[in-house]
Amino acid sequence: MRERWVARGRRLRWGALLSLLALVALLGAGWRWFRSIDWTPPRRRWVAFTLLVLTGAVWGVASAGPPRPLLPPAGPPSPEAVAAIQAGRPPGYPVGGLDISSHDHGRYPVHWPTEVAAGSEFVYIKATEGASYVNPHFAADYAAARAAGRYVGAYVYARPDRGDPIGQAEHFLRHARFTRDERTLVPFVDLEWPYAGLRTGPCYGLTPQQMREWIRAFIGRIEESVGRKPMIYTNTYWWNPCTGNDASYGSYPLDIANYTAKASNLPAGWSTFALWQYAPGDPDQRHSHDRDVVNGGPEALRALAWPPPPGG
């Protein structure tokens, strides 16, 4: 979540575009020089072919962008990283986990031996966005987390600006791999600010009434399918203005995004939270991912998996 790296990618693409424009100008000047010389037809064809091959290679290198450094092979846990992850958890919340998306594959994917050693007991993985996007790393990340013995859940990045809440929910359900077992976490719905590049306004161009209707249809379809309330990921300063302080979801588990010392000031309707995302990740830093803790310890984490707790 927090698709902030889209903006960084746009800056890289602009740099590549400017390089290509400079290359086009250089090739144009060379072509004008080439045409000014009185070549014989066979020689002209041979030189043109040679230039095409050479400049094609240059074009390919320029458009590919800067090479990424090679990642070291998976190895044993990093003691320094383990200590840093454990020390970074807020006091009183010993059960930690993380949530990841395709952005966590920019340079440093999750190093599961380190996460296991640090006590990262669960992971949420972005599955879909809108009605067509599927995270290309979802299946591999899901399998790796399962193999590492973690609790695993899927999440969907909601796109109210694209309408069709039922279609978006059903697209997510087709890919979420929700299973009624004791290690699959209830899905969560990511409802937050649009990431850079969408240009829809903070509330996706919807009024509070329109947003409430969209969320009701979207979450209702997921709840109907999985047989229990999905979790809602949000922030108070998005939820309250964009939903008009909708207090009707207080019985749904909450994943609160709050990068302060305490997970306080909850959105309208909630008096407590299930998960707290206390730190954002940086894909350009090793072992840096969005990090979460569970409110209530191991029992509370188990309650987010199947079967639901009594009355849940």
pLDDT over threshold 80, residue 160 = yes
User: In the structure encoding, which two tokens stand for residue 248, read together?
Assistant: 């009707």
For 40-44, 118-122, 203-207, 226-230, which range has the lowest pLDDT when averaged over its residues? 40-44
Q: Token match 């998996």: residue?
A: 305
Percent of the chain with pLDDT over 70: 76
Q: What band does 132 get if pLDDT is binned at 50, 70 and 90?
A: very high
Q: Distance between alpha carbon 144 and the CA centroid of its chain, in Å?
A: 17
When computed from its CA atoms, the radius of gyration of the chain, rounded to whole angstroms, is 24
Percent of the chain with pLDDT over 90: 69
Higher pLDDT, 32 or 240: 240
Burial annotation 79-102 (CB, 10 A radius, 16+ → b, else e)? eebbeebeeebbeebebbbbbbbb
Predicted pLDDT at 30: 53
One-letter identity of residue 278: Y
Q: Answer whether 158's CB lies under 8 Å from 218's CB.
A: yes
> CA 204 to CA 301: how far, in whole Å?
32
Q: Following CA atoms 12, 15, 19, 24 in sequence, which dihedral angle do they give, to the nearest 10 degrees?
A: 100
Q: Answer whether 176's CB lies under 8 Å from 230's CB.
A: no
- Cα dihedral 158, 94, 113, 182 sign: negative
Higher pLDDT, 21 or 147: 147
DSSP string, 73-106: PP-S--HHHHHHHHHHSPTT---EEEEE-GGGGS
Predicted pLDDT at 11: 40
Mean pLDDT computed over 26-31: 53
Instruction: Supply φ then ψ for residue 96, to 5 degrees.
Output: -115, 165
Which residues on adjacent β-strands are paired with residue 290? Answer: 99
> CA 220 to CA 10: how far, in whole Å?
35
